[in-house]
Every structure is written in C-alpha cells, then in structure tokens.
Chain A
C-alpha cells in the first residue's frame, strides 16, 4: 500500500465517503440518501436508536447488502463490494456484537479461513499458526492459537475477529456494539486496542448505545435517525443532551400518571437469588397492584434474573416466593401454573409463533383449560381470542397470521397470550422495544390498567429510561449482575438511575 502517498492526501481525501446511499426492504425505507465522510485514522462513533439504520449502513459498507442507490468511495476511489471477503481484501472489515465464528475450528483457522496461507496448493498450517500468533500479539492478547473457538468468551471471540481483520491491510474497522456483552475490564482493554489501531492509521467506526463510551473514545460523532443522516460533528462540539435529542428527534416526555394509594401484599418475593457469573444476591418484592421497573444496561443481567424467576435456564440459588408460597423455579410450566407469566424481549424468536394465527397464539398456554376430553373447543378458543383482541385493541382478525402484523401488534399478541391465563405476576422484558410511538402509549395504558384495576404485580425490564420513570412505582437498578439501587419513584430521576446503572462496582476489584 502507498502509505506515504495516502498520508500526503489524508487531509483532503476521506477514508470513506458515503454519498446518497439508500436502501429499502419491501416498503420500509431503512436508509434514505445518507451521506457523510470518515477521516483517515479517526475513531468515528455512529449513534442512533434501534432501527435508525446503523446495521443496514454497516451491511452496505461491508458488501453484505447492496445499496439501492448511492455510492462509496474508499480513499478517493469508488468501490462496490460484492461480499464481505471482497471488502476485507480492500481493508474494510466489521466485527459484530455476536461474533460470527466457527466453533469447531481452531483460533488460527478462524483467523485465516478463506485466505489460507498456502504451499503448493495445500494449507500451510505451520505458517498459519505463526501468523495467527503474531496478529494476536499485535493486539497484546495471548491465546493458544490451536485451541478451539468454542469456549471462548465474547470478548475473546471479538479479538479473534479483529485479528482476522488485521490479517489484511486494514483501513477501516467497524465495531457494531462491541462492548454490549463485555465486562468493564474487557471493555477498557478493547478501548486500548482501538486506540492503538487508530495510531496505526486505521479508521475505526464505533457503534454504541453507551454515551460515556462514545464520549471517551470518539473524535467524531455521526447521528442517524429513522434511516436519515442527522448530523456529523466533532465530539467536542456535541454535548450529551444535544446528542440524545438528535437521536430521538423530540424532547422525551412521558406523562407520569398519579400513583394509586394502597399496595396489596407481596405477590412475588425474591431473596438472595444468584447464578455464579451471571447475577449475585438479588433481593426484591413485587406487591399486588405495583409496577416495579428494572433499569440497567443491556447485558447487565436483567433478563437473566427474570428468566431465572420463570424457571428458564440454569437454576439459581436463593429463594422465590409466589403468593406466600416458597417455590424452586424449575420450568416455565411450573411457574405458569402458579400464576407467573414472562414476556420475553425477542418476541419474534421467543414470544410468538408467527406462522400461526392470532387465535392459536392466544390459546397456546391455555390449551388445557380450553379443551374437553382432550379435544380443543374451537368456540371457546375463538371467544378467548376475541376478548383479548378487543381488550388490547389488536389490529387484525383473530384468524390472521401473526406474521402479517406489525411489531407492536405482535407484542400485544404475546401479551394477550399470557393475560388469557389470568396471571397474578407479570414479568415483562422490554415490552415496548422496537414498536412505534402510538402503540407504545397503548401498551403503557394497558400495563397501568393491569396493575391498578386488575391488581397484577408487574416487573418491567426496560432500557427506555423515560418509560421506566413514567410507569414504575419503584425502580430496581441492576449493574453487572448486582442490584445496586432500589429507588422509590418519588426519589427517582434520570440522573440517579443512570448513575447507578453505569456504576462499575466490581466484586473482584
């Protein structure tokens, strides 16, 4: 590569120029004519809400997706990559939050698959291992290159991916939410690696939701919103409040509704709940008629706590009491029988069965109640589905396939499914994640009614701080698997909740 040459032109020619790039998926405009520049040797943060088009943009830069319109220029030359290998050959690579590696193969092979060092047609494994060792060393990372990728932590897998990117002459490295599954120690090590790459002249695109991280790393910040480019500014010229405002596009206000006065008895009590390495010594109560919000960063262990209470995954130690009865959560069916319902975060994967009708989905957990002599009673099934559809104002007919519904309505179907079982305790994981504003307000109203009128005990996990503050009677804050704060709503505000969530109190230190 012509290093001296490119540094001469560095000031004038951007590392990557994105001009007028658009992409639609069927009727949805994922990106609309996005244009901005990445300078050589900078750390460039790309921020935006979920669905802002960040991943689509990355896909197009790395050749995974083809733009409908627009062009890319790498170091002044127009490029169009046909696939990620093509992009990598030109020195453009991406590392995702969930590394895509081959678990059955060795670290060295994972680094060199598709670009093996060869000797007369055969893979030269000695040279492959030696080169892999050197690459990992450049990252200041010691791993046995012969060991399998299966068993590596997410952080270690990311280093393998970065090492792979380094194996060609790396000009642009994109990191998509790289620290969302890392411990603070692992994350700060990654910051170092990124700074070192920058010093070598590589441009790094850093996609993240963590403000503090963007703040300490980025030289430049680009904000995307609803598939459109909003602003690109030097990091020093953009304060946090402005950045959030640009991302959201409106100043965030959710009306908090007056709390009800009397709480009932504790429906769910959790004492000293622990799973080694995931969460530790979690204790809280949820009362009848109460909404308890659970705040914390993605990956802090929030979902795992709710899942443990619902009997999914590794069995925790500690005690869970439902309605005064001590239980050991072993399976979802056991907990459902006790009146506990859990609505998972990824509803397409875990929450609804999209190839079935609304009716069939709603009836699924209530099959036994709906059948006589082991046969389903269709009229009862339809009745139940119709009641729930009306109650939650789900768009579409009960006979429609769930796959034909929008995200918000799918979420309502998932909710309806559990409400049909008449639960006493509702565990909701990101109930409004990725659904439009109108439906979001409806879901909020439904939740308030369920707590205040139906007297359910609700535990709501959410990354949406305004939502947590508007709906909760009490807020639990989880950080790194520990319950770091239990704040009454009267004392809670954005600042103290966020401060608790980002506190990095670690057991080891």
Chain B
C-alpha cells in the first residue's frame, strides 16, 4: 500500500457496505445485551446461574436446527420442512431402535441417513424440478408429517423403549452446563468451520450472493443447493433425535410447527433472507435471543400475547435492517461514476 491517497479513497467508498454487514451482526448481539439488561432489572430471578443454564438449554435444540436452516437460507432458499424432518427422524429411529435393540448404538448414523435422504428430496424439488423453495418445502412439510402419522398409526414411542444412553444424555450436565448446550456448540462450530473454511461452504455463500455470477464462474447451482439441503436435513435429524430423547414419549406431532421459530432465529441472527451473507454463529445467537425472550417474559408473568408481539417485532426489525443492508450491497455494486472523481 504505497499510495496513501488510493487507500484512503478505498476506505471511504467501501465504508458503506462492509460496515453495513458488520452492523447487522452486531445488531443481534446488542439486542441480546439489551434484553439481558432489561430482564435483569425487571426480575431478580433472571440473572442467576440456574436461569442462565435453563435459557441455554432451551436454546440448544433451536440453535442446532437454526444452524441447519442457515445453510439453506444462505443459498437464498427456505426449508419449511425442518419440523417434519425432526419429527419423522425421531419417531422412526427410536421406533426401530425400540423394536430391535441391536440398532441402539447406531441411532445417530440412522438419523443422519434419514435426514440426508429427506434433505436430498427437498433439494431435488427445488433444483431439478425448479419449484420455488417456499412451495416445495411447504409440500414436504405436509408429506413428511403425513408419513409419520401413517407410520405411527396413532401410537407413541414410549420413553422406556428409548436407548438408555440417549435418555441419560438428555439430563446430563458436563462442566456445569447441560450436555445439550455442549452438543449444540460443537455442531455449530462444525457448521461454522464448514461454511467458512471448506470449498463446499464458500460456494454456498458465493451462489447465494449472486446466482448469475455463479453460472459465469462455472459453479453447479444444483450441486450447491442440494448440498445445502442435505446438510440441513442431517442437522435437523440430529436436532429431532435430541428433542425426542428429551421429551421421552414421542408421538407423530413431535416438533410440529417449530419451523417458524427456527426461521425466526435465523433471520433475527442476521442471516440474509436474500442469501449470500450472515453467519451460523449469528443464527445461534438468534436462537438464544428467542429463548431469552420466552424465559424473561415467563418470569415476569407476562401474557403470551406480549411474547408473540415482541418476537414478531424482532423478526420484522431484523428483516428491515436486512433489507437496508441488501440495498446498500447491491446498490453499491452497480453504482457507476460517469464523471471523473474531483480531487
């Protein structure tokens, strides 16, 4: 950087979009901080170790599912079937393992396989059949849930038939924190590394940022989008397994409707709904934000309506900020200077 004026100019003209992206990530962190401070002032029970643990425990499964959803949202698509994938996987895997004890050590592998298959189906609908993802996964949301209903035939998988080690895991505490919080942290770390360090992840960002450019770069949109859905399906399957072990008695409605919470976490966490930017860490913080709102408002004995109100406002505010950031990024990309810059 031998030319100081060039560098200064660069910094000036880049300020807009780079800082806009950074602000969006900081936004969720600041929002979380404000929530924590507000609840601490309003309720003496809030800022305690026990309550902190409880918030993180509630957030853990949501954060895992949000990490999976982030993969899909980063490509500019949605996965509304996440709750159905969780429910289907948990029911089928635990049912099989209950009937055949030899399968019990392999529940995780089984779940990953089922999740990958369901995600693959989503991906094929979106890429090969060119169905808009919101419609395609709305369809599979019903189909996967319908499949569990038929499979379950109105019966439950009872907690007694679950693999004992999974039952135990749900209540274990490691190094002062619930095991689920650690598992969640590990999964998020793996997804974060895959997204930032593996070519697989970088291509997801690139495709989401500008699908047309991806074509000129010779990237395969089919492979990238299916890859994201398969990843999301596998992660949702793990989330389903953990939720099932926690609940104990599993019926065909497990995790029904959770997709809205998951999407809310992703969006509040600063992953752009238009794809191409945001981080999985942000999505995880988004899950913690939702858990904090729930927890704090329960402590304050506030009606359900206010919880929904605050959650809804947070979603709209997050996407509003996202829209502003997106305009800046896209707008500055096509900006042209016709006249020479006056110096």
C-alpha gap A185/B21 in the complex (Å):
31
Given contact pairs A86-B218, A183-B337, A183-B340, enumerate 18 new A-B contacts (beta carbons under 8 Å): A64-B215, A102-B205, A102-B210, A102-B213, A103-B276, A103-B329, A113-B217, A113-B219, A114-B203, A125-B197, A151-B13, A152-B14, A152-B332, A157-B333, A183-B341, A277-B341, A506-B339, A508-B341
* Neighbour of B197 across the interface among A63, A109, A122, A152, CB < 8 A: A122
Residue B69 CB within 8 A of the other chain: no
Task: Tell which of B7, B216, B339 touches A64, judged by Cβ atoms closer than 8 Å.
Answer: B216
The minimal Cβ–Cβ distance linking A111 to chain B, given in whole angstroms, is 11
Given A64-B216, A113-B203, A142 contacting B210 (CB threshold 8 A):
no
> What residues of chain B lie closer than 8 Å to A256, measured between beta carbons?
none
Compute how far the CA of A151 lies from the CA of B341 in the bound complex, rounded to whole angstroms: 15
Q: Which residue of A lies closest to B17 (CB)?
A: A150
The answer, yes or no, to whether A509 is at the interface (CB within 8 Å) is yes
Contacts of A47-99 to chain B: CB distance below 8 A? 63-64, 83-86, 88, 98
Contact-residue bracket for chain B: 35 or more
Residue of A114, A157, A277 near B338 (CB, 8 A) is A277
Q: Closest CB-CB distance, A139 to chain B, in whole Å?
A: 14
A148-183 contact mask (Cβ, 8 Å, vs B): 1 or 0 = 111111100100000000000000000000000101
Task: Identify the A interface with B (CB < 8 A).
Answer: 63-64, 83-86, 88, 98, 100-105, 109, 113-114, 116, 118, 121-123, 125, 142-144, 147-154, 157, 181, 183-185, 277-280, 299-301, 304, 480-482, 506-509
Residues of B within 8 A of A (CB): 1-3, 6-7, 10, 13-18, 21, 197-199, 202-203, 205-206, 208-210, 212-219, 272, 276-277, 328-330, 332-343
Residues B205 and A481 in contact, CB atoms below 8 Å apart = no
Of the candidates B3, B272, B332, B343, the one whose C-beta lies within 8 Å of that of A150 is B332
Q: Is the CB of B14 within 8 A of A88?
A: no
Chain B facing A: main interface SS:
helix
**If A101-B210, A122-B198 touch, does A507 touch B17 (CB 8 Å cutoff)?**
no
Which residues of the other chain, A, contact B16 by a CB distance below 8 angstroms? 150-151
State whether A142 touches B217 (Cβ < 8 A).
no
CB contacts (< 8 Å) of B340 on chain A: these are 183-185, 480, 506-509
Distance in angstroms between the alpha carbons of A157 and B333 in the assembled complex: 9
Determine the chain B residues whose CB is within 8 A of the CB of A299 once the complex forms.
336, 338
Contact A113 B2 (CB under 8 A): no
23 A-B residue pairs with CB within 8 Å: A84-B216, A98-B334, A100-B210, A100-B217, A103-B210, A104-B208, A104-B209, A104-B272, A109-B202, A116-B199, A121-B198, A142-B1, A142-B6, A144-B7, A147-B18, A150-B328, A151-B13, A151-B332, A154-B337, A183-B341, A184-B340, A299-B336, A506-B339
Give the distance to chain A from B267, nearest Cβ to Cβ, in Å: 16
* Chain A residues with CB under 8 A of B341: 183, 277, 508
The smallest beta-carbon distance between B244 and chain A, in angstroms, is 33
Q: Are B202 and A142 in contact (CB under 8 A)?
A: no
**A326 to chain B: closest CB distance in Å?**
26
- Tell me the complex Cα distance, A100–B215, Å: 9
Please report the number of residue pairs spanning A and B whose Cβ atoms sit closer than 8 angstroms. Answer: 156
By DSSP majority rule, is chain A's interface helix, strand, loop, or mixed? Answer: loop
A144 contacts B209, C-beta separation under 8 Å = no
Closest to A94 in B: B216
Residue of B nearest to A83 (CB): B218
A101 and B202 within 8 A (CB): no
Query: Are the C-beta atoms of B209 and A102 separated by less than 8 Å?
Result: yes
| Contact between chains at A153 and B198 (CB < 8 Å) | no
Chain B residues with CB under 8 A of A301:
338-339
The distance in angstroms between the C-alpha atoms of A280 and B335, with both chains bound, is: 17
Rounded to whole angstroms, the CA-CA distance of A423 and B343 in the bound complex is: 42
Name which residue of chain B comes closest to A183, CB basis.
Answer: B340
Query: Contact between A123 and B198 (Cβ–Cβ < 8 Å)?
Result: yes
How far apart sit A167 and B277, CA to CA, in the bound complex (Å)? Answer: 25
**What distance in Å separates the Cβ of B186 from its nearest Cβ neighbour in chain A?**
18
B211 to chain A, nearest CB (A): 10
Name the 7 nearest CB pairs between A and B, nearest first.
Answer: A85-B218, A100-B213, A150-B17, A102-B209, A150-B329, A104-B277, A103-B333
Question: Are the CB atoms of A152 and B216 closer together than 8 Å?
Answer: no
CA distance A392 to B14 in the complex (A): 48
User: With A183-B338, A184-B340, A480-B338 known to touch, is A147 a contact of B277 (CB < 8 Å)?
Assistant: no
Closest to A155 in B: B337
Which residues of chain A are within 8 angstroms of B343 by Cβ–Cβ distance?
Answer: 508
Interface pair B339/A278, CB less than 8 Å apart: yes
Cβ–Cβ < 8 Å partners of B336 in chain A: 153-154, 181, 299
Closest to B220 in A: A83
**B-chain residues with CB within 8 Å of residue A185 when the two chains form the complex:** 340
B217 proximity list for chain A (CB < 8 A): 84-85, 100, 113-114
Select the residue from B18, B334, B336 with max chain A CB neighbours within 10 A: B336
Residue in B205, B215, B341 whose Cβ sees the most chain A Cβ within 10 Å: B341
Within the complex, the shortest CB–CB distance from B70 to chain A, in Å, comes to: 14
Q: How far is the CA of A185 from the CA of B329 in the complex (A)?
A: 25
CB-CB under 8 A from B339, the residues of chain A are 183, 277-280, 301, 480-482, 506-507
Complex: chain B residue closest to A148, CB-CB: B18
Provide the bound-state CA to CA distance between A85 and B234, in Å: 30
Cα–Cα, bound, A123→B116 (Å): 24
* Residue of chain B at shortest CB distance from A102: B209
Residue of A nearest to B16 (CB): A151
Q: Are B7 and A142 touching (Cβ within 8 A)? A: yes
Using CB atoms, name the residue of chain B closest to A114: B217
Interface centre among A64, A113, A181, A184 (most CB of B within 10 A): A113
Residues of B within 8 Å of A509, CB to CB, are 340
Complex alpha-carbon distance, A152 and B336, angstroms: 9
Chain A contacts for B199, CB-based, 8 A:
116, 118, 123
B213 partner residues in chain A, CB cutoff 8 A? 100-102
Docked-complex contact B338 and A109, CB < 8 angstroms? no
Cα distance A299–B336 when bound, in Å? Answer: 9
User: With A103-B209, A114-B218, A142-B3 known to touch, is A149 a contact of B333 (CB < 8 Å)?
Assistant: yes
Chain B residues near A116 (CB-CB < 8 A) = 199, 202
CA–CA, A277 and B337, complex, Å:
6
Contact A150–B206 (Cβ < 8 Å): no
Partner among A100, A102, A123 whose Cβ is within 8 Å of the Cβ of B276: A102
Q: Which residues of A contact B215 (CB under 8 A)?
A: 64, 84
**Cα A9 to Cα B6 with chains together (Å):** 43
CA distance A380 to B169 in the complex (A): 74
- Inter-chain CA distance A142–B210, complex, in Å, is 25
Interchain nearest-CB distance for B130 vs A (Å): 18
A contact residues around B330 at 8 Å (CB) = 103, 150
A147 to B208, CA, bound (A): 18
The docked-state distance in angstroms from the alpha carbon of A116 to that of B14 is 24
Chain A residues whose C-beta falls within 8 Å of the C-beta of B197 in the assembled complex: 122-123, 125
Q: A150 — which chain B residues lie within 8 A by C-beta?
A: 16-18, 328-330, 332-333
